């Protein structure tokens, strides 16, 4: 299953529950709404975390920074290596 199929299945499930929620007791409807909100929030959080890493990696690649140069900046605290010697 691809991502669009999973998302569409979840949307259909939430919609079908929304159509029947008037028939449920209040406590059950509240619990179901709370669970649905939590599930949707978790899915969105995971998608945004993946998107955040994709953006960070894309920026690093677009700037043309290499991993050794970034490590030297972080670990040594200096600038580019001195090649004049």
Q: What is the domain partition of the chain in residue ranges?
A: 3-76
User: The tokens of 57 are what?
Assistant: 């990696």
Q: 5-9, 19-23, 69-73, 79-83: which has the minimum mean pLDDT?
A: 79-83
Largest Cα span, the chain: 80
CA–CA dist 6, 75 (Å, integer): 42
pLDDT in tens, 31-65: 888 888 888 888 888 888 888 988 888 887 777 76
Side-chain-facing half-sphere of 42: CA atoms under 13 Å: 7
pLDDT (average), residues 2-23:
81
pLDDT (0 to 100) of residue 62: 77
User: Would you say the C-alpha torsion 25, 27, 28, 33 has a positive or negative sign?
Assistant: positive
**Cα 56 to chain center, whole Å?**
13
Q: Reduced to 3 states, what is the DSSP secondary structure of residue 13?
A: helix
């Amino acid at each position: 299953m691809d991502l669009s199929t999973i998302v569409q299945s979840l949307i259909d499930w939430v919609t079908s529950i929304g159509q029947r929620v008037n028939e449920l007791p209040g406590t059950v409807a509240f619990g179901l709404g709370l669970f649905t909100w939590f599930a949707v929030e978790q899915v969105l959080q995971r998608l945004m975390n993946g998107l955040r890493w994709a953006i960070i990696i894309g920026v690093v690649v677009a700037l043309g920074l290499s991993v050794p140069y970034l490590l030297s900046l972080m670990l040594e605290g200096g600038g580019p290596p001195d090649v004049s010697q």
